[in-house]
């Protein structure tokens, strides 16, 4: 029996260690977690084997033989030494594994010197990453860029519901909860491109809520950051109050979000530089400004397809195909307003007043009326009215 147990352990441990349970390691924290996991495997496989061998051996050895149906087992009672051992050994094991796990947790969560802050803003259904700058502004990007070996503090906020920020290769995750700021610390230590996922079922587009993390060299990161600040559009609109109080000077810009899965270069290709409100040639309510709002932080392009904005979202109606027809349909005229402009305005500010066939309420955010300024809404109306085919 002992021999079987030793052989099973000798096979079990390497087998369990060889199985690739985790994706490639991308951070110091992930390294600590993997080591913890290996120690747990080495400690638990022998215990599992011991218990199973004794159980299987007993099932076989003490099985009921013909003629024993009426018999009872021998009345064995009490063995103090055995009881002390089987209480003390697991207690020592559990206390030491807990202590080790606790030290790993403490070291992973420890504040590192010179950590760089990245603001992670979540919304249905996109991540946005903000890099605070010395001038109080921040550079916004739909892709996460990080310099290798640089400790990072992620500050998470949510515009709407609970999301969860998870980079499997960093082995760290935390929820983004509306109204509070949550913190996560990571030190990436391997160059590479890793998926970022939302791991909280946050609505119909949850499965689309993904982004890309690029861990690059420090110099590549600096030049990326410089290219961002040069091309970034000035901030458009005010963020919701809870986001505002959390970070002084924080303001999401028009170049921020792009549809999930779109180009991860960081700058939204659809945001035209001429669409910035500071440009003297365009007004803040014009179609050009509207396009910037559409492709920007409001997240319209994450859910809608619209050729004029290079948007390819599929959660909501394809605006190229349906907008004009839906606005012309008899049912919507009285509810959404008679003209195309009125209809679009209602669709944005009171989205469930008229539901296009095949769509249900509760998916398109219903708070754009409060989140966007009246100029921004007017700009969107002008833009969509001119873009609708």
336 interacts with Cu ion by CB under 5 A: no
Among residue numbers 174 through 203, which ones bind Cu ion (CB under 5 A)? 198, 202
Closest CA to 166 of 219, 204, 202: 202
Q: Which stretch, 29-37, 67-75, 206-214, 288-296, contacts Cu ion (CB under 5 A)? A: 206-214
Q: Which is nearer to ligand HEC, 130 or 365 (CB)?
A: 365
Per-residue interface string for the shown chain with Cu ion, residues 18-57, x marking contact by CB under 5 A = ----------------------------------------
Per-residue interface string for the shown chain with Cu ion, residues 99-118, x marking contact by CB under 5 A = --------------------
CB of 193 to Cu ion, least distance (A): 21
CB of 259 to Cu ion, least distance (A): 15
Residue 224 binds what, of Cu ion, ligand HEC, none (CB under 5 to 8 Å, by partner type)?
Answer: none
Residue 163 binds what, of ligand HEC, Cu ion, none (CB under 5 to 8 Å, by partner type)?
Answer: Cu ion
163 interacts with Cu ion by CB under 5 A: yes
CB of 163 to Cu ion, least distance (A): 3
387 interacts with Cu ion by CB under 5 A: no
Q: Which is nearer to Cu ion, 210 or 333 (CB)?
A: 210
Bridge partners (DSSP) listed for residue 155: 119, 183
CB of 374 to ligand HEC, least distance (A): 13
Q: Give the one residue of 126, 167, 209, 377 binding Cu ion; rule: CB under 5 A.
A: 209
Q: Give 36's Cβ-side CA count (13 Å radius).
A: 20
CB of 126 to Cu ion, least distance (A): 9
> Could you identify the residue written with the tokens 């860029």?
145
Residue 145 binds what, of Cu ion, ligand HEC, none (CB under 5 to 8 Å, by partner type)?
Answer: none
Q: Which is nearer to Cu ion, 198 or 288 (CB)?
A: 198
Encode the chain in three state secondary structure: CHHHHHHHHHHHHHHHHHCCCCCCCCEHHHHHHHHHHHHHHHHHHHHHHHHHHHHHHHHHHCCCCCCCCCCCCCCCCCCHHHHHHHHHHHHHHHHHHHHHHHHHHHHHHCCCCCCEEEEEEEECCEEEEEEECCCCCEEEECCEEEECCCCEEEEEEECCCCEEEEEHHHCEEEEECCCCCEEEEECECCCEEEEEEECCCCCCCHHHCEEEEEEECHHHHHHHHHHHHHHCCCECCCCCHHHHHHCCCCCCECCCCCCCCCCCCCCCCCCCHHHCCCCCCCCCCCHHHHHHHHHCCCCHHHHCEEHHHCEECCCCCCHHHHHHHHHHCHHHHHHHCCCHHHHHHHHHHCCCCCCCCCCCCCCCCCCHHHHCCHHHHHHHHHHHHHHCC
Residue 166 binds what, of ligand HEC, Cu ion, none (CB under 5 to 8 Å, by partner type)?
Answer: none
Residue 348 binds what, of Cu ion, ligand HEC, none (CB under 5 to 8 Å, by partner type)?
Answer: ligand HEC
Site residues, ligand HEC (CB under 6 A): 124-125, 205, 294, 298-300, 302-304, 315-317, 322-323, 326, 344, 347-348, 351-352, 355-356, 359, 361, 363-365, 368, 380, 384
Q: Which stretch, 60-68, 136-144, 204-212, 277-285, contacts Cu ion (CB under 5 A)? A: 204-212
CB of 249 to ligand HEC, least distance (A): 24
Rg of the chain over Cα atoms, rounded to whole angstroms, equals 29
Chain residues in the site for Cu ion (CB under 5 A): 163, 198, 202, 209
């Amino acid at each position: 029996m002992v021999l079987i147990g030793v052989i099973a352990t000798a096979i079990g441990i390497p087998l369990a260690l060889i199985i690739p349970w985790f994706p490639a390691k991308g951070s110091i924290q992930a390294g600590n977690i993997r080591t913890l996991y290996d120690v747990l495997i080495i400690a638990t496989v022998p215990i599992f084997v011991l218990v199973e061998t004794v159980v299987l051996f007993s099932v076989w050895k003490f099985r009921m033989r013909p003629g024993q149906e009426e018999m009872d087992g021998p009345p064995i009672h009490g063995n103090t030494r055995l009881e002390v051992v089987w209480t003390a050994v697991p207690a020592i094991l559990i206390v030491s594994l807990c202590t080790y796990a606790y030290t790993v947790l403490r070291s992973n969560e420890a504040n590192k010197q010179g950590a760089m802050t990245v603001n992670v803003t979540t919304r249905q259904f996109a991540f946005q990453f903000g890099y605070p700058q010395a001038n109080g502004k921040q550079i916004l990007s739909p892709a996460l860029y990080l310099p290798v070996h640089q400790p990072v503090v992620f500050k998470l906020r949510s515009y709407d519901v609970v999301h969860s920020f998870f980079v499997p290769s960093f082995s760290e995750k935390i929820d983004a909860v509306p109204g509070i700021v949550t913190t996560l610390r990571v030190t990436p230590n391997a160059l590479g491109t890793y998926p970022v996922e939302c791991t909280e079922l946050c609505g119909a587009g949850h499965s689309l809520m993904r982004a890309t993390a690029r861990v690059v060299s420090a110099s590549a990161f600096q030049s990326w950051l410089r290219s961002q600040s040069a091309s970034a559009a000035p901030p458009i609109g005010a963020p919701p109050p809870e986001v505002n109080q959390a970070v002084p000077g924080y303001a999401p810009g028009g170049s921020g979000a792009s549809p999930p899965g779109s180009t991860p270069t960081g700058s939204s290709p659809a945001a035209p530089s001429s669409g910035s409100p500071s440009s003297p040639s365009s007004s803040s309510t014009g179609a050009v400004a509207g396009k910037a709002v559409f492709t920007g932080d409001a997240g319209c392009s994450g859910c809608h397809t619209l050729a004029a904005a290079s948007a390819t979202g599929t959660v909501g109606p394809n605006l190229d195909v349906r907008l004009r027809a839906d606005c012309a349909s008899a049912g919507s005229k009285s509810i959404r307003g008679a003209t195309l402009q009125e209809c679009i305005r209602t669709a944005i500010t009171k989205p469930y007043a008229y539901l296009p066939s095949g769509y249900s309420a509760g998916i398109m955010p219903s708070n754009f009326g409060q989140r966007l300024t009246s100029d921004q809404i007017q700009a969107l109306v002008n833009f969509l009215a001119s873009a609708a085919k």
